[in-house]
Amino acid sequence: MILGLGAWWEPLASKVGVDRRQPVQAMREMVEVTRRLLAMERVTYQGSFVRVHDIELDIVHGDRSPRRVPIYVGATGMKMMELSGEIADGVVLNYMVSPRYNAEALAALEAGAARTGRRLEDIDRPQLVVCSLDADRSVALDRARALLTQYLGQQPHIMKASGVSQDLLDEIGSVLTWPATPAQIEQAMRLVPDEVVQLITASGTPDECRAKVREYVASGCTCPILYCLGDVPATIEAFAGGSF
């Protein structure tokens, strides 16, 4: 079992009542209390975000020895990345970013790890990668373009990390509302060139997709997590055996 924790993002968080104030501190508190509970402690904790009194995991008749459950943080910004390096067993690197983003992310992870006497190599770094594979290259690119257009226009954390020019982000954002209508998505997609699609996703022919995933691995990803769009059997076949 691996436990993944994330701070979520705006505007989704506030729409469901999540107070995304000081997300780094909130994550620190959540990880600390969760670790203590998994160690089978009886926990009282009064933080800025996590406040509990005299709680423990409810294991009535089973083994109460400490559980070793790795905790991975879903991080995009560099402050959360540093925290992950300091306190997490692993970090899930985000998608819709270019491989160049990984260099900054790994530097932040390494800085955080150094605070607790660890090395970058001690932290697992799986990465989400959008993969749109098709023998027809144009079909694959358009399929990915529809998804990334919405992310670039509506998700501030992805906009900032993507490596896409601010002029293009502003242009897309001027078209899309929240939530976007199908007509708006169609209109905004026309603004996104093929090179941007292939900058931040693994999209195109099987050879192109494999080459892009190799870039992410070469840039520090320890395990690609393919967010598959379209032809799933063909994608499995293309990456089977890890031969990419």
- Domains defined for the chain, CATH in brackets: 3-127 (3.20.20.30), 128-242 (no CATH)
Q: What is the DSSP string of 82-148?
A: HHHHHH-SEEEE-SSS-HHHHHHHHHHHHHHHHHTT--GGGSB-EEEEEEEE-SSHHHHHHHHHHHH
How do residues 62-79 score in pLDDT, each as one tens digit?
899 999 999 999 999 999
- Over residues 87-143, the pLDDT tens digits come to 999 999 999 999 999 999 999 999 999 999 999 999 999 999 999 999 999 999 999
Phi, psi (deg, nearest 5) at residue 52: -135, 155
Q: What is the pLDDT of residue 53?
A: 98
- What pTM was computed for the model? 0.92
Q: What whole-number distance in Å separates Cα of residue 79 and Cα of residue 35?
A: 21
Q: With pLDDT > 90 as the criterion, what percentage of the chain qualifies?
A: 86
C-alpha atoms less than 13 angstroms from C-alpha of 66 in its C-beta half-sphere: 8
Question: Rounded to an integer, what distance in angstroms lies between the CA atom of residue 223 and that of residue 42?
Answer: 35
Q: Which residues make beta-bridge pairs with 51?
A: 46
Spatial contact of 9 and 155, defined as CB atoms under 8 Å apart: yes
Q: What is the pLDDT of residues 179-214, one digit of tens each?
A: 899 999 999 999 999 999 999 999 999 999 999 999
Locate all alpha helices (DSSP H) within the chain, ordered by sequence. 12-15, 23-38, 78-87, 99-115, 137-154, 156-162, 166-175, 182-189, 194-200, 206-218, 232-239
